[in-house]
Amino acid sequence: TLLYTIKFEAMTLPRVQSALVRPLRTLVQSRANSSKAVAPIVTSDSYRKSLLNVNPTEVTRLSNGMHVCSEYIDTPTATVGLWIDAGTRWENEQNNGVAHFLEHLVFKGTENRSQHELEIEVENMGAHLNAYTSREQTVYYAKCFAKDVDRSMDMLADILQNPRLEEGAIERERHVILREMQEVETNLQEVIFDHLHAVAFQGTPLSYNILGPTQNIKSINRADLLDYITKHYQPQQIYLAAAGGVDHAELVKLAEKHFGDMQTTHTHPFDYPPARYTGSYMKSRDDSMELAHVALAVEGCSWTNPDYFALMVANTLVGNWNKAQGGGKTLPSKFAREIHELGHPQSYMAFNTCYKDTGLWGLYGVCEPDHDAVRIFLGAVQAEWRRLYRSVSPGEVQRAKNLLKTLLLAQCDGTTAVCEDIGRQMLTYGRRISLAEIDARIEAVTPDVLRRVVGEFVYDKDPVLVGIGATEGLPDYTLTKIQQSSPVD
């Protein structure tokens, strides 16, 4: 019943010795400001060997099209989950919010287990069952003891294939989601990123809010949920990923046992609606708010774009900063040091959000309710972007590459993080990228490559600007667009 089995080297996290990474607190000002060459993060043979001396990610495709992917880690625990190639992007104006609504309901009981029975079973195993929905993915996963992987997969298969979707549960979750929406609206960082997507990808499903509009939450019914399951929960759109004390051959047998009967009702997967980026502007002024929240971005690249890692290095160069955490002259980012001296904003963070065919690359900041604070901050951001295009030094590029490698290594710590990495990479790349390949692609980013990529994606490109709160000082769009290519820094 198996069509093929292939192996990829895994992107596991080798144990990084303290000697490999210089603590930031030991950096001195002369080192931080230096534009001289900086050595790669490590040059020892042990580091290079550690990139290759990892367990492989094994991938098997079942006869119904589902993929089973796993990496063995010598630990008594495991994480197993379902990564589904479906999310908000596959919705329309009438059913926007249905993917997230369904995520809530699958834990409210199945044809074989009531909600109470499901909760008791999870608690008795000492396991953790969770789910989340994004614009392009839906994920259900369980963290458990390795000996309980079979039982965890049985639960995942049950909630995926046999959700009860009772009318009473639908009505209860409707109110839960409406309350969740109210809570989200108090998190201005989430709100501003929703607005950023809404204006940057206006007129396309990528602009939709994951939770959906209030009117849809009030109207979504059982038929809508079943229709979404039928169309998008297809075996060929699902990757079963696992990491931890799991034998791949045994995992494949369990996958056949629990998911082998899933039938493909669509011979061709649904095509996602293409994205369309629009440089644009949105301001929601409320002077009663204590701070101004602003986001400035340009169209980034997709996951699979060859320039992805160059944009990640540029993102790391811009860095992040928070006035409450300090750092000052010892910060690794030149821009963060400048912001520290400038005194504006309260905090900022650079971001690089990627999708199947597009992305958003930019910066989010929180400023004081001062007329000039927002204008000065955004001017400094665009000046830094222009500097990356014109005069970035080899030393700071190498420093950013070293930091990026460290951050990527730190993100793959534990079975859940590794399992998440497997599922996401299989959905986005169709394979697991090895740690050695990631290291090589980051190291291949030179100052010339960085300047070219910033020129292609950032310099003189139409930005999208969003502001919420005390935004009196938010510059108009025309000025913002001009400053994307100003000859003066």
Active-site residues, by number, are 103
Q: Which two tokens stand for residue 111?
A: 């044809």
Task: Please state, in angstroms and rounded to a whole number, the distance separating the CA atoms of residues 107 and 104.
Answer: 6
The three-state secondary structure class of 470 is coil
Owner of token pair 């000039």:
372
Residue type, 305: N
State the Cα angle at 313 between 308 and 317, rounded to 5°: 145
Give the DSSP letter string of 286-343: -TTSSSEEEEEEEE---TT-TTHHHHHHHHHHH-EEETTT--GGG-S-HHHHHHHHH-
Joined tokens for residue 167: 């009318």
> What residues have CB less than 8 Å from 222, skipping those under 6 apart?
165, 167, 170
Question: How many Å apart are CA 160 and CA 138, to the nearest integer?
Answer: 11
Q: Which of 59, 102, 413, 109 is nearest to 240 (CA)?
A: 59
The 10 Å CB-count burial string (b at 16+, else e) for 47-86 is: beebbeebbbbbbbbbebbbbbbbbbbeeebbbbbbbbbb
